[in-house]
Structure formats: C-alpha cells, structure tokens
Amino acid sequence: MFHLSEETIQRYSSIKPAYKRIYLTLRQALLSGELSAEEKMPEEALALQLGTSRTPLRRALDDLKREGYLEHAKSAANSPHLPKKDMNSIIDLDVLLESHAAYLAARNGVSTENLEILKDLNRILRNVDESFRYDSAFEKDLIGVRDTHLQFHLMIARMSRNKYLYQTVAKLRTKLRQYSSLESFPRDQTPSSYYRTIIVPCHEEIISAIENREPESARAWMYTDVIRSRSKYFNSYKNPYLIGR
C-alpha cells in the first residue's frame, strides 16, 4: 500500500503546470524508494494525496510509464476482492489508532485555526445536498463529500503530533476507500441523511471534546464514529448479511 510523505509532496509544490509537479513528485518518490514501480496506485487516492484532478495525474503517469519508471505498475481495478475478515482487521486497527489520535489531540491541545478547519469541514458535511442520489450526474460532487470526510479524520490524526500515527491512519483510510464504492451508504438513507444523522453529530462531539481538552471523551466519540463506518464499508459488497456485523 502506498503513501507519499508530506516532505515529498511539498518538495515540488511550486512547480507549474500541475502535471509537471506531479511527474517530478512521483519520479522522486520512485527514485528514493518511497514508492515501488510494482505498487498498486489507485488514481482516486493518489489524486487526493497530491491535491489534483485525474487529468494531469494521468498525463504524469503516462510519462512515467513511457520512461520506464512505472513499467510494471498495476491498476487498482485489477485488485482482488478484499475478504470480510481482512476488512474487519483493517477497521479494528483503524478504530484503535484514530481513537488514540483524538485522545492525543485533546490532551495536547490544538490551535484555534485547526479547530476552525475541523468545524468548517463538518459544516460542509452537514450541508450535503438532499438531492444527491446514486447516479453519475452527482458522482463528482459525491467524491468531493467523501474527500471532505476523509480530510476531517486525517486532520485529527495530524493534530495528534505523531507523524507515524498519522501516516498509518492515512494508509488505512486509503485502503478502506479502495474497496468502498460511491454507493456504499446504508440502504435506507440518502448521502445527505447519512451525514446529517450519523456522521455530523459524532464529529461535533469529537470537536467539542478536543476543544475542551477532554481526551477520554474525544477517544470515546472517535471510537463510536469509526465503528459506525463498518456498515457503510460492508454495504459496498452488496451483501445485506454483512451489514452491522
């Protein structure tokens, strides 16, 4: 599973155009051994890490393949189906790490600026349009909503001030997204109701606990939030018997 370090991402951050910045960043990661040429690189997750759209990303990947850097790279579309027990193992680890990250953020304290960022991210999720449905017309916007949710969790992991914890959480979250479709919401809810009634209230409690320096409360609410994601991820298997187990 791949993950680019913040140092690698920032190294060429001022380079333009975008595809050139992405090309140089990925080439450096490949040359340094941070990425392997045989590693699976899901475009959605890679674009998210690099803060770009897929068009310049694909151009950069094409150049790297043409020059031999990614000659043996494999598409994520060819990835095997992840067994339920493996998904369980990933979520079990993720819930422990993210809960501890929230604990550390509350214990250590965070800046007013970072708290406002968390509140802004949660505000976006609260205002998800009720008109979202599972069709291609809204796919781009729905990806954006999922990215906002991911950024909320990664922000808290970063606020733990433990770079290894943050990097591991980022890898686990990337893995979960790789096996979760855009339609992976509880069957009886729209994306809007899912975020408003399940996700946002938990996030508000997490933010409050961090702001008030209540580490045990922050840990407990983050645990609840991540555990609730089980049904969402298992729903992507289109098997109702897996939901809630």
* Rounded mean pLDDT, 99-123: 94
- Per domain, the residue ranges of the chain are 6-77, 84-242
Quickly count: other Cβ atoms within 10 Å of residue 176's Cβ: 21
What is 6-77's CATH topology? Answer: Arc Repressor Mutant, subunit A (1.10.10)
pLDDT tens digits along 181-235: 544 555 566 667 778 888 899 999 999 999 999 999 999 999 999 887 666 555 5
What's the whole-model pTM score? 0.62
Which of 109-118, 156-165, 180-189, 219-228 has the weakest average pLDDT? 180-189
pLDDT category, 180, cuts 50, 70, 90?
Answer: low
What is residue 234's predicted lDDT score, i.e. its pLDDT?
52
Which residue in the block uniquely carries the two structure tokens 């729903």? 235
Residue 171 in this model has a pLDDT that exceeds 70: yes
Provide the CATH number for the domain formed by 84-242 in this structure. 1.20.120.530
Sign of the torsion formed by the C-alpha atoms of 28, 34, 35 and 37: positive
Summarised one tens digit per residue, pLDDT across range 28-77 is 887 766 776 656 667 777 888 888 888 899 899 888 887 666 654 444 43
67-76 contacts at long range (C-beta below 8 A, 24 or more positions apart): 69/26, 69/27, 69/30, 69/37, 70/30, 70/37, 71/37, 72/37, 72/38, 73/37, 73/38, 73/39, 73/40, 73/41, 74/38, 74/39, 74/40, 75/40, 76/40, 76/41, 76/42, 76/43, 76/178
- For the ranges 6-20, 93-107, 214-228, the lowest mean pLDDT is seen at 6-20
Q: Note the pLDDT of residue 236.
A: 47
